[in-house]
């Protein structure tokens, strides 16, 4: 059985990692069937890493959410060579070395689904795959271990050096080849077929039944290792990191090249742009990374992305379509966006029927008219936009489009503030803006109320059951049952979701308010870096009596620990634009938007309405700690007497600090334990203060 396992793994490695066939598929299948038969006879000898154990039992519900060991960053895109030149100049200025030459590793940007693999030390130098997680929102993702385990190129167990930490996280891109997509689509009805390999890979990974995933040919290319592991293994460059992944048997795309000039990187970009259609998998550009991990550390990251990397994207695919109509869309802040309704066209693997025209100035610049034939592309390969009018194809009957002067929803005269390109509806009671605000409040990254989609919100507004976001929390069984779309089960499910949403993380609450300029990341900064009062609050919990209840909806008083709406109002009112702007990560535009919002009496009334409905916000465990390390950077080295490395990192981050992987002039403290290694020498050379565990614990008391 052990020999069979080794031989099957060897043949699979050759086939799936190196594209060499040392035996036919029939032979590999026969060996696997022989192993299956032996394992049935001797189940006591089945091992977790057996090729037969990759398919588990189907899940019976939604995919569970789990937190990443390390937050996931996205890459900043570049579409022109000039943007790369600007990037290099920015890095030089940041490092204070205007003439510095960078070694840059160029990798193919695989068009797939980002997945993180977590391996845990199980015995000695043996590590076992315990979890596979989607990128999600960067903080938490979906646990898809059951389907990712079916990817035959991924080792279930690894042998790693003794210096590796107990948990190792390897990230990469799960993808599907073009041939695999074609084979899979052959067995599906036209309406069920996937438009492109990326969609097929994403859909397959999220299958509840791993057997369904196993029947499809998923692949994976790995390209990242968590910083703690990379440091422990003394991998000093990105190239060394990639070679290490290859050495331990991880699937890696070996089409990578190290360059010292952008001109050479540009040539490689142009080469793959010309041959991309002939590749067996989809790519949408190159990824350029500074090779030195020490320089990566010194350059750091923005709130979203590493400063030391760029996704050099191929030009967006362009198609032509005819404009059938131009309509105005009202956003939650009253912003008016003109949208072109198009004849259906296939663009970058999806069917496009609408495209943004951005604003009145853009319409005038392009001279877009209803009836025109236009060039459409996906901005950043995501949002369809009109980029050019083919004037030679313009029908004689077309007329210039005049931007309306009044809101298409409520008829209010539109305003265009000085210095802005966007028209806005100033009516706070505008029906379209109200609907957008309520949908935003219920959305995934805000209150996350399932069942409160566009059609449902439209029904609730039409029936005069809600007029703002807080009204959602006053809905009752008797008020909902019998409405269009509302049967008993839907009504009870929605009320259950609303009940759960009454206790909401503070950052999601702030984002859900729909305040102009307050996106998810800004909301997280406000939640983390502002001192919010917390107390025990008595709230009224309403429970639906359900169909046939003699007593209708029941009420009970419940004590909860959290942040009241009154305290949120009081805290926000206490800030001036200047004091908010002084918070790291909050600029004057965001600060002004927040101050303007809380100054409005209607908005304060909305918070009071949330309060009376029993809504309270809370800080996730640990995030309410005093921010004594705000703006400080720590480096950890050696083994601490009582704290694990993860515990120490958590204590630092909860208090506003950052943890880096290498010592530099920007490091504020080095936390050192036993056997500290070269980082302690670096700290001594640079004059960085060194703490032992006792001194550190005194600081965090």
Q: Which residues are catalytic?
A: 109
User: Phi-psi region for residue 121, left (φ > 0), alpha (ψ -120 to 50) or beta?
Assistant: beta
What DSSP element (H or E) covers 133?
A: strand 126-134
109-131 as b/e, with b when 16 or more CB fall inside 10 Å? bbbbbbbbbbbebeeeeebbbeb
CB 417 within 8 A of CB 426: no
Q: How far apart are the first and last CA of the chain?
A: 55
H, E, C per residue of 134-159: ECCCCCEEEECHHHHCCCCCCCCEEE
Q: What is the spatial distance between Cα 262 and Cα 455, in angstroms, rounded to a whole number?
A: 50
How long, in residues, is the chain? 701
CA–CA separation, 323 vs 269, rounded Å? 34
Nearest in space to 494 (alpha carbons), one of 453, 466, 464, 462: 453
CB 101 within 8 A of CB 264: no
DSSP helix/strand/coil, 61: coil
SS (H, E, C) 161-186: CCCCCCEEEEEEEEEECHHHHHHHHH
Compute and round to an integer the Cα radius of gyration of the chain.
28
The Cα–Cα gap between 320 and 325 comes to 15
Closest CA to 699 of 644, 666, 652, 639: 652
Interstrand relation of 383-389 and 373-379 (parallel, antiparallel or unpaired) = antiparallel
Q: Beta-carbon neighbour count of residue 199 at 10 Å?
A: 16
d(CA 412, CA 134): 44
Q: How far apart are CA 160 and CA 262, in angstroms?
A: 35
SS3 content of the chain, % helix, strand, coil (to 5): 35, 25, 40
């Amino acid at each position: 059985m052990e020999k069979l396992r080794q031989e099957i793994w060897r043949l699979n490695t050759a086939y799936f990692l190196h594209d060499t066939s040392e035996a036919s598929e029939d032979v590999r299948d026969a060996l696997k069937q022989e192993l299956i038969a032996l394992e049935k006879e001797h189940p006591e000898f089945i091992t977790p890493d057996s090729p037969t154990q990759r398919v588990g039992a189907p899940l019976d519900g939604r995919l569970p959410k789990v937190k990443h060991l390390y937050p996931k960053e996205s890459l900043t895109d570049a579409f022109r060579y000039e943007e790369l030149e600007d990037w290099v100049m920015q890095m030089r200025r940041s490092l204070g070395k205007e003439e510095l030459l960078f070694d840059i590793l160029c990798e193919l940007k695989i068009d797939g689904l980002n997945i993180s693999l977590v391996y845990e030390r199980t015995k000695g130098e043996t590590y076992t795959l315990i979890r596979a997680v989607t990128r999600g929102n960067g903080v938490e993702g979906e646990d898809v271990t059951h389907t990712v385990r079916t990817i035959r190129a991924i080792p279930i167990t690894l042998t790693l050096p003794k210096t590796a930490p107990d948990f190792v996280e390897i990230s990469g891109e799960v993808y599907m080849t073009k041939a695999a997509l074609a084979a899979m689509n052959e067995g599906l009805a036209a309406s069920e077929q996937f438009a492109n390999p990326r969609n097929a890979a994403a859909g397959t990974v999220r299958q509840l039944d791993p057997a369904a995933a196993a029947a499809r040919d998923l692949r994976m290319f790995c390209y990242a290792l968590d910083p703690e592991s990379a440091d422990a293994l003394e991998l000093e460059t990105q190239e060394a990191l990639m070679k290490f992944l290859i050495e331990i048997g991880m699937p890696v795309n070996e089409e990578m090249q190290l360059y010292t000039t952008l001109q050479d990187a540009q040539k490689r970009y142009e080469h793959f742009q010309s041959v991309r259609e002939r590749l067996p998998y989809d790519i949408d550009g190159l990824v350029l990374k500074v090779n030195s991990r020490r320089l990566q550390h010194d350059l750091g990251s923005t709130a979203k992305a590493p400063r030391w990397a760029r996704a050099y994207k191929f030009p967006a695919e362009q198609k032509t379509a005819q404009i059938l109509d131009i309509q105005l869309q009202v956003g939650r802040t009253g912003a008016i966006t003109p949208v072109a309704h198009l004849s259906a066209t296939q663009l970058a693997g999806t069917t496009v029927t609408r495209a943004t025209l951005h604003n009145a100035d853009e319409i005038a610049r392009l001279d877009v008219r209803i009836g025109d034939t236009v060039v459409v592309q996906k901005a950043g390969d995501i949002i369809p936009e009109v980029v050019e009018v083919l004037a030679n194809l313009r029908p004689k009957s077309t007329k210039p489009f005049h931007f309306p002067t009044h809101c298409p929803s409520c008829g209010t005269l539109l305003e265009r503030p000085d210095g802005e390109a966007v028209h806005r509806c100033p009516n706070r009671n505008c029906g379209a803006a109200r609907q957008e605000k309520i949908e935003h409040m219920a959305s995934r990254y805000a209150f996350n109320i399932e069942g409160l989609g566009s059609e449902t919100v439209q029904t609730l507004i039409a029936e005069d059951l809600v007029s703002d976001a807080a009204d959602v929390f006053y809905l009752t069984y008797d008020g909902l049952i019998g409405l269009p779309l509302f049967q008993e089960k839907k009504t009870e499910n929605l009320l259950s979701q609303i009940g759960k949403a009454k206790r909401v993380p503070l950052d999601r609450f702030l984002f859900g308010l729909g305040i102009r300029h307050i996106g998810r990341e800004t909301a997280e900064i406000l939640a983390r870096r502002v001192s919010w009062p917390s107390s025990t609050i008595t709230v009224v919990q309403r429970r639906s009596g359900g169909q046939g209840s003699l007593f209708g909806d029941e009420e009970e008083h419940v004590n909860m620990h959290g942040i009241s709406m009154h305290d949120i109002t009081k805290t926000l009112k206490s800030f001036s634009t200047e004091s908010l702007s002084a918070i790291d990560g909050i600029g004057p535009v965001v600060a002004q938007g927040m101050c303007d919002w809380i100054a409005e009496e209607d908005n304060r009334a909305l918070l009071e309405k949330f309060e009376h409905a029993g809504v309270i916000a809370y800080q996730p465990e640990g995030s309410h700690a005093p921010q004594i390390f705000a703006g400080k950077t720590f480096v950890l080295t050696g083994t601490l007497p009582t704290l694990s490395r993860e515990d120490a990192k958590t204590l630092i981050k909860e208090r506003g600090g950052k943890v880096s992987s290498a010592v530099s002039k920007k490091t504020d403290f080095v936390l050192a334990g036993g056997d500290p290694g070269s980082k302690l020498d670096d700290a001594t050379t640079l004059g960085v203060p060194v703490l032992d565990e006792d001194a550190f614990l005194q600081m965090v008391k």
